[in-house]
Amino acid sequence: MIDIADNLMRENRFDDALQAYQAAWSKLQRQLDTKQQVWLLLSIANAALRFGDFEEAFAALSVLPEHYSKSEIVVGNPLFHLLVGLSFHGLNENPEGEADNFARALICGGPEVFVGEAPTHLKRTMEVLLPPADTETWDGYVGCSRDSLNDATGYLRELLTVKFGAPPPYA
């Protein structure tokens, strides 16, 4: 079921992919280990965002810190923070949460985590967030926790490969 949803994402059939990921969650949740559950929820959120259902994306993302904070995948995960920032942006109701999560995405994943997103998100974030003191630039900065992305699967693994120019694992 998850493979079908991943293929639908590759075909830009975001609504169908969202429905397929949600069906997989309903049927497989108890059979999946914690890491697989986290990545499936991130897949649901990503599909919902790309479809334009920001409320559904935010709902899926809200489950993660509440129930999976001890998984060592959520806290500091640049993709999680990017998706939360994009959800806040789409909902247009929490500019502080949007800015905070985009900043966390940049700090945790570097500028490349914004590849494929609206350039204004990265531009505004870099205007308000000072670069690392040791380099004084965001150029070449790879983030502090890309390793939290190492267990990404399916479509999200491919998305990260495009963003970072190489597949996981990341150091």
> How confident is the model at residue 69, as a pLDDT?
94
Q: Please report the pLDDT score of residue 26 as a whole number.
A: 97
Segment (H or E) for 65: helix 54-68
Is the CB of residue 69 less than 8 Å from the CB of residue 148? no
Q: What is the mean pLDDT of each run of 10 residues along the chain (171 residues)?
A: 97 98 97 97 98 98 96 95 98 97 98 98 96 93 96 97 97 88
> Which letter, b or e, does each residue of 112-139 get, where b requires 16 or more Cβ atoms within 10 Å of its Cβ?
bbbeebeeebbeebbeeeeeeeeeeebe
pLDDT of residue 122: 98
Q: Are 121 and 102 in contact (CB under 8 A)?
A: yes
Cα–Cα nearest to 35, from 74, 66, 91: 74
Q: What's the confidence (pLDDT) of residue 60?
A: 98
Residue appearing with tokens 């693994």? 157
Whether the predicted model's global pTM rises above the 0.95 cut: yes
